[in-house]
Amino acid sequence: MNAKGLLAGLGRLAGREALYPDLRRALRTTAAFMAPLVLAQLGLITGPAAFAAIAAQNIALVDVRGAYRGRISLLLAMALILAAATGLGAAASGHPIGAILATVLVALAMGAWRHLSPDYGPSLAAASALLFLIGLALPGAPAEQCAVYALGGGLWGVVLQASLWPFRPQHPLRQTAADTWLALGELFAAMAYDDTRDEATRHAEIAARETAVRATLDRTTALLAAAPVSPLRSQLEALNLSAARVATRAVVFHAALDALRARPEFPRITATVQPLLTSLTNTSRTLALAIVTRQASQLATSEVRLQRLANLVQVLQARIAAHAADPSVGAELGDLLRQLAEQLPVLRRQLRASIDDGPEGRAWSLELSDLDTWTFRPLAASLHLSWHVDAALRRFTARLGVLLVLGVLIFEYGHIARGYWLPLTIVVVLQPDYGSTRVRAAQRLFGTLAGGAVASLLLFLSLPPAALLAAITVTMFGFSYHLRRHYAIAVFYITLMIVLLTEATSGVTVQFTLERFFATMAGGTMAMLAALLFWPVWEWQRFPAFLAAALRANRDFLHLLHSRLQAGGAYDPAVVAAKRHAEAANGALFASLQRMAGDPKHQQDRLAQAAALANGNQRLTRALTTVALHLTPGAPLDHPAGTRFVVLAADALDALARHAAPGTGPAPDLAPLRAALDAFEAPLATAGADQPHAQRDRWIFGQMSRAAVELEAMLLAAQSETAT
């Protein structure tokens, strides 16, 4: 490879690392873990260095988002929690009753961390449980010393994290804003027509990406709102809003295009649309990179791609007009493309405003100035501070507490060497739902078995201390790099690392790896049986509530759109909020559907009908969003057919919601609603072709007709569910 090719490859690696920091995270975590161990090997620290190493590793592993004040508050709080868990475990060691009470307290705390933060809570819960169990397994270790070492390691992890913040591309808010554009790029990639996916798979992937975009948009909005007021925050909020607008228009255009699937001109049109989707994908990813790096070269690349995108939209408008058999359909698709094109110049200005005017290579970020307040108050902005705890989480916490107590009793009274592996396996395998627990158990068992087999071979090698430390470094790097990518591979590396680490301190035999394997098997089996038998949460029991909420969100969206149409209103913030609420409800609904698919077959209650209703409701949201985009200020549409559709659709959504969640009203009769929707006919237009807004009215009534068909299909699915 010549020097130019090498530089190009390094540039691509640097760009990918700026957006997907797996390599940086692995290096950071490895350095955090190894530093206490190296100091212990050199004799510079004589206490329990393992607590410091594990605490530092878990703090360094966190990918924090948001402003610096929120980051530092979160990391310091995590360090204190890890130190407290370590001290509690060491204090309870050797006291069976105290150990049981402390285990119950830790289980309750793990549930609390999950409730307070879905993003950071699970990792904090697992890390605190690990340190607690190790402290519990070391009788005679001074609790204060263990806690101090864990706190010292945690603070070392905080220092390591913070030392990288001033340097590109790790900025407080930029990665947060870039995440939205990355999610958008994944959505556009899922929309591609030039692959071999079947339609069911393709639509499922698009639905999943839509949900991810909505969740990322909401998370980014919340994190930016919690940041200190500054010009940068305003610029990134504008970019996030533009991402939402581009996503809305692209999704609506794609849905309108898919409605033409049965027409002969569809293959010709999709052949011309695919370059646009590819350009949208590449442009979104380039924008994310420019937002993060602030480099003039990335800004220039983004502007070139935005211009190419604008050119493609213009070409596509002409080709769709030429290929569409129905001029009205071609005009509607062209209008949606026009709305998409209108966002591009705005986006170019917003991106340029967010890029610093300083020299391209400058490393130090002046954005560090928001570290002026060292307080835990910013932490509250990123937490879920609600007294209402989800029923599934309550059951999960109870299940976890019982299993942890049982696991602690086994290794405390059974006097099993390193028996804490059993309850630790329970902690990492047990998930709130059965499907996730089953997948995690299989991955952990495979990783442990493979890692144990390789580790047994390593026992025949008598590695010197320096080589052992080097091998531990490599395995910790492998674990950290693969943890977010492939859990089974990560477990393989961590199994190797534990064997090597134990070899470095006390020497191991084949019995050591067998103990870990059987403890993993026992813990995984207990977690699986608990998820299956002990107060299980089957998703079919929860799905109806999610479905009813999503149906009612669409009903509310529909009513608001009707009021805007009658009054000649605009696509204003209230309409946007209603659309977001409907999209968020659909996201929760599809997450529930995915969990149901992971449940045992006998618990997948009418999965096909549930999927039909969920997909129908999402398509209905897209149709309503299309109507929202056609709202024209000062141009009311108060037509009897529109009012009749709204009444029929609202009644159907209410009936479906009552059918999904019985007990909220009398059982609905769905047959008359189906008949009424079947008889509904929307006019082609409200006025002659020469009248203003006639084309717009035709498009809106077209969406009403599609929505009526969708609702009728949903009613049919609900009726077939009742019949079976």
Determine the Cα–Cα distance for residues 704 and 641; give it in Å rounded to an integer: 10
Question: Is residue 364 in some structural domain?
Answer: no
Per DSSP, the residues of 468-523 read HHHHHHHHHHHHHHHTTT-HHHHHHHHHHHHHHHHHHHT---HHHHHHHHHHHHHH
Question: Is residue 10 in some structural domain?
Answer: no
pLDDT at 360: 40
pLDDT at 72: 84
**C-alpha angle 311-316-318 in degrees, rounded to nearest 5:** 105
Which letter, b or e, does each residue of 124-133 get, where b requires 16 or more Cβ atoms within 10 Å of its Cβ? bbebbbbbbb
Question: Is residue 403 in some structural domain?
Answer: yes
35 and 57 Cβ atoms separated by less than 8 Å: no
Question: Is residue 412 in some structural domain?
Answer: yes
Per DSSP, the residues of 295-357 read -HHHHHHHHHHHHHHHHHHHHHHHHHHHH-SSHHHHHHHHHHHHHHHHHHHHHHHHHHHHS-S
Q: Are residues 185 and 148 in the same domain?
A: no
407 and 523 Cβ atoms separated by less than 8 Å: yes
Q: Are residues 233 and 317 in the same domain?
A: yes
> Is 210 or 497 the better-scoring residue by pLDDT?
210
pLDDT at 687: 43
DSSP conformational letter for 228: P
Provide CB contacts within 8 A for 175, sequence distance 6+. 65, 169, 292
What the block records as the tokens of 548 is 């009813």
pLDDT at 362: 44
* Residue of 8, 278, 45 lying closest to 148 (CA atoms): 45
pLDDT at 13: 54
pLDDT at 601: 77
DSSP conformational letter for 358: S
pLDDT at 604: 72
Determine the Cα–Cα distance for residues 500 and 497; give it in Å rounded to an integer: 5
pLDDT at 690: 47
Which letter, b or e, does each residue of 40-58 get, where b requires 16 or more Cβ atoms within 10 Å of its Cβ? bbeeebebbbbbbbbbbbb
- pLDDT score of 315 more than 70: yes
Provide CB contacts within 8 A for 337, sequence distance 6+. 253, 313, 316, 317, 320
Cα Rg, the chain, nearest whole Å? 29
> Amino acid letter at 225?
A
- pLDDT score of 500 more than 50: yes
Number of H helices, E strands in the chain: 26, 0
| 691 phi/psi in degrees, rounded to 5 | -85, 145
pLDDT at 299: 86
Per DSSP, the residues of 59-90 read HHH----S-HHHHHHHHHHHHHHHHHHHHHHH
Question: Is residue 7 in some structural domain?
Answer: no
What share of the chain in percent tops pLDDT 70? 85
Structural domain harbouring 460:
391-537
Determine the Cα–Cα distance for residues 574 and 560; give it in Å rounded to an integer: 8
Mark which of 498, 516, 537 sits at the end of a domain: 537
Lowest mean pLDDT among 59-63, 295-299, 470-474: 295-299
* Residue of 31, 63, 38, 58 lying closest to 132 (CA atoms): 58
Question: Is residue 134 in some structural domain?
Answer: yes
Top mean-pLDDT range of 8-17, 322-331, 406-415, 541-550: 541-550
pLDDT at 711: 92
- pLDDT score of 136 more than 50: yes
> Amino acid letter at 676?
A
- pLDDT score of 245 more than 90: yes
* Residue of 475, 504, 502, 503 lying closest to 490 (CA atoms): 475
Q: Are residues 267 and 155 in the same domain?
A: no
In which band, very low, low, confident or very high, does the pLDDT at 554 lie, cut at 50, 70 and 90? Answer: very high
564 and 700 Cβ atoms separated by less than 8 Å: no
pLDDT at 366: 43
- pLDDT score of 635 more than 60: yes
- Average pLDDT score over residue span 61-90: 87
- The enclosing domain of 661 has a CATH number of 1.20.58
- Average pLDDT score over residue span 105-115: 90
pLDDT at 14: 53
Q: Are residues 156 and 43 in the same domain?
A: yes
- pLDDT score of 374 more than 60: no
Give the tens place of pLDDT for each residue, 477-491.
Answer: 988 888 888 888 888
* CB-neighbour burial class of residue 694 (10 A; exposed 0-12, middle 13-18, buried 19+): middle
- Average pLDDT score over residue span 593-601: 82
Lowest mean pLDDT among 194-203, 235-244, 401-410, 640-649: 194-203
Q: Are residues 272 and 420 in the same domain?
A: no
CA dihedral 521, 523, 525, 528 (to 10 degrees): -140
Determine the Cα–Cα distance for residues 595 and 635; give it in Å rounded to an integer: 45
Q: Are residues 706 and 580 in the same domain?
A: yes
Q: Are residues 564 and 463 in the same domain?
A: no
In which band, very low, low, confident or very high, does the pLDDT at 369 lie, cut at 50, 70 and 90? Answer: very low
Q: Are residues 505 and 602 in the same domain?
A: no
Q: How far is CA 629 from CA 212, 318, 561, 624, 672, in A?
A: 22, 21, 10, 9, 31
Question: Is residue 633 in some structural domain?
Answer: yes
Q: Are residues 354 and 398 in the same domain?
A: no
- pLDDT score of 210 more than 70: yes
- Average pLDDT score over residue span 349-362: 67
Q: Are residues 520 and 574 in the same domain?
A: no
Per DSSP, the residues of 669-705 read -HHHHHHHHHH----S-SS-TTSTTHHHHHHHHHHHH
* Residue of 338, 17, 281 lying closest to 170 (CA atoms): 17
pLDDT at 585: 93
Mark which of 148, 167, 186 sits at the end of a domain: 167
SS3 668: coil
Q: Are residues 560 and 702 in the same domain?
A: yes
In which band, very low, low, confident or very high, does the pLDDT at 74 lie, cut at 50, 70 and 90? Answer: confident
Mark which of 512, 537, 562 sits at the end of a domain: 537
Mean per-residue pLDDT over the chain, rounded? 82
pLDDT at 16: 56
The number of folded domains in the chain is 4
Determine the Cα–Cα distance for residues 167 and 177; give it in Å rounded to an integer: 17
Which letter, b or e, does each residue of 416-439 get, where b requires 16 or more Cβ atoms within 10 Å of its Cβ? bebbbbbbbbbbbbbbbbbbbbbe
pTM (predicted TM-score): 0.78
Question: Is residue 386 in some structural domain?
Answer: no
- pLDDT score of 655 more than 60: yes
Find where tokens 């395998």 sit: 429
Determine the Cα–Cα distance for residues 100 and 230; give it in Å rounded to an integer: 50
Q: Are residues 610 and 484 in the same domain?
A: no
